[in-house]
A and B are shown apart, each in its own frame.
Chain A
Amino acid sequence: MTLATSAAQETPERTERPTAVITGIGVAAPNGLGTEQWWQATLSGASGIGPVVDYDASRYPSRLVGRIAGFDAAEHIPGRLLPQTDRVTRLALVAGAEALSDADADPAELAGQDGYGEYGCGVVTSNATGGFEFTHREIRKLWTQGPQQVSVYESFAWFYAVNTGQLSIRHKLRGPSGVLVSEQAGGLDAIGQSRRTLRQGVKLSLTGGMDSSLDPWGLVSHLASGRLSRSDDPATAYLPFDTRAAGQVPGEGGAMLVLEEETAARARGARVYGEIAGYAATFSPRPGSGRPPGLERAARLALADSGLPVEAVDVVFADAAGLPVADDEEAAALRSLFGPYGVPVTAPKTLTGRLYGGGAPLDVAAALLALRDGVIPPTAGIDRPVPEHRLDLVRGAPRDAPLRTALVLARGHGGFNAAVVVRSARAA
């Protein structure tokens, strides 16, 4: 028996699993298009939330959105792709290209290299609302002008999987790919699935999530959830963990991340932001069942998956629903995990609104850059934290801190919970 096999017997799970590291980040957020622009806005507290300006929303009960201003798709996307893509797919293509460029990775080129092959690179993304604006336009044509006038591209431009498909085609990401649809938890589920594909032999997987559904029909659909804030003040409309919490602001955007098997990433000299050290997902029981919600369990399972103790967590990026009951539940989970005021908690999504499938990958991007820069980005607008929550909320200004490990939490409407543990890269 060799040394290698006896080592494997001592820690069978860890040795079978490739280490998954993030080597590239691309961001499309209401407060910044492009990673560094968004990160600076996030640290300085610059908000992307404002009134609807693309159409008259004065008769809507909720009129604030986190919209990416000044996004001109033609500046970024080949002309051939414009007629067949919704805004969400254009944003995904822009962020995906930024992430791959940031990772200095060209999948078409990698396919020709040892250990990769044609199916060595894949793409797994999250999306919760499909191609709303495109579909709005085409369905209106259907009703007013007849089926012959509907674009043939409606057949896929609406679809949750379309971002994954277009990214796959554009960057020759032909390995195991997919889409995860679990509302705001989906972004973490996509990263978890992406990491799973590395265990199947994939070397590089583009992951993350993107959503955009702020056109008139999209906003009406969000209204139907009953969870939107009715405030007209961008600074106080979305206030998770605050005594004034009264709903959410819908936003658009997200982040794309390049996930790589660590050995392959190091071999090609990639810069490593950090490791996706743990992931787990749970479902909450239906309301009224008397059983506890599943968020804490997801966090504990993700930590167990990472092999790290609870005490290792230096910062939590909270789901931060902005709804009193859901905030109470998350605060209770955090107290149970870490004790009262036991860990710094933040929610930079207060500057963007909730981005659905794109929200959690943006939080993972924030966690990676927080680890890189040794700084926790603040939660915006929270002046009156709920005293009973007993959370160490980072608010007002960024907080400098040596950071090694971050826990990112996400919940999706319908009972989805997911958690990811992000860990600083080991020295190369």
Chain B
Amino acid sequence: MTITLNDLVRVLTECAGADEDVALTAQKLDVPFTDLGYDSLALLETAALMKQRFGATLTDEDVTEIETPREFLDRVNHAAAQAA
């Protein structure tokens, strides 16, 4: 099972709230999270919920290094594959 952008958007919104002005779409996969208005705490929270939902563990170091939604999906899918 692949964790998709839709999954990320759902979890991110649940963790860090919605903002209609800066919606995360496929066109923004390479826009840094900071430009999308998500700070490091929002990503830590999202990573924690990803673990609960998908069993994919991202380390705090992973979360610190991740800058864009594409990187997040790459790393979290890699972690999910390793856990499986």
Contacts and interface: CB of A to CB of B under 8 A. Distances in A.
Interface in A128-148: 148
Interface in A147-200: 148-149, 151-153, 155
29 contacts: A78-B17, A78-B19, A79-B17, A79-B18, A79-B19, A79-B20, A80-B16, A80-B17, A80-B18, A80-B19, A80-B37, A81-B17, A82-B17, A83-B14, A83-B16, A83-B17, A83-B45, A84-B16, A84-B17, A148-B51, A148-B52, A149-B48, A149-B52, A152-B41, A152-B45, A152-B48, A153-B41, A153-B45, A155-B41
A148 B49 CA distance: 9
A84 B17 CA distance: 8
Interface string B50-74: 0110000000000000000000000
A151 B45 contact: yes
A148 B48 contact: yes
Nearest to A156: B41
B44 interface: yes
A149 B51 CA distance: 10
Contacts of A80: 16-19, 37
Interface of B: 14-20, 37, 41, 44-45, 48, 51-52
Contacts of B52: 148-149
B15 A83 contact: yes
B44 to A, nearest CB: 5
A22 B30 CA distance: 46
Contacts of A78: 17, 19
A155 B14 CA distance: 18
Contacts of B37: 80
B25 to A, nearest CB: 16
Interface string A242-273: 00000000000000000000000000000000
> In the complex, which of the residues A79, A151, A152 has the most CB atoms of chain B within 10 Å of its own CB atom?
A152
Contacts of B14: 83
Nearest to B20: A79
Contacts of A151: 45
A266 B37 CA distance: 36
> In the complex, which of the residues B20, B48, B52 has the most CB atoms of chain A within 10 Å of its own CB atom?
B48
A148 B45 CA distance: 10
> In the complex, which of the residues A79, A80, A153 has the most CB atoms of chain B within 10 Å of its own CB atom?
A80
Interface of A: 78-84, 148-149, 151-153, 155
A83 B18 CA distance: 9
B13 to A, nearest CB: 8
A393 to B, nearest CB: 47
Contacts of A81: 17
A148 B47 CA distance: 11
Contacts of A149: 48, 52
A81 B42 CA distance: 11
Given A78-B17, A78-B19, A83-B15, 12 more contacts: A79-B17, A79-B20, A80-B17, A80-B19, A83-B16, A83-B17, A83-B45, A84-B17, A148-B48, A151-B45, A152-B45, A152-B48
Contacts of B41: 84, 152-153, 155
B44 A152 contact: yes
A152 B39 CA distance: 12
- Report, nearest first, the 7 A-B pairs whose CB atoms are least far apart: A79-B18, A80-B17, A79-B17, A152-B45, A152-B44, A83-B17, A80-B19
Contacts of B17: 78-84
Contacts of B20: 79
Contacts of B44: 152
A130 B4 CA distance: 38
A86 to B, nearest CB: 14
A79 B16 CA distance: 8
Contacts of A153: 41, 45
B63 to A, nearest CB: 10
Contacts of B19: 78-80
B56 to A, nearest CB: 13
A82 B19 CA distance: 11
Nearest to A155: B41
Nearest to A83: B17
Contacts of A83: 14-17, 45
Nearest to A145: B52
Contacts of B16: 80, 83-84
A412 B45 CA distance: 37
Nearest to B21: A78
Contacts of A82: 17
B65 to A, nearest CB: 17
B34 to A, nearest CB: 13
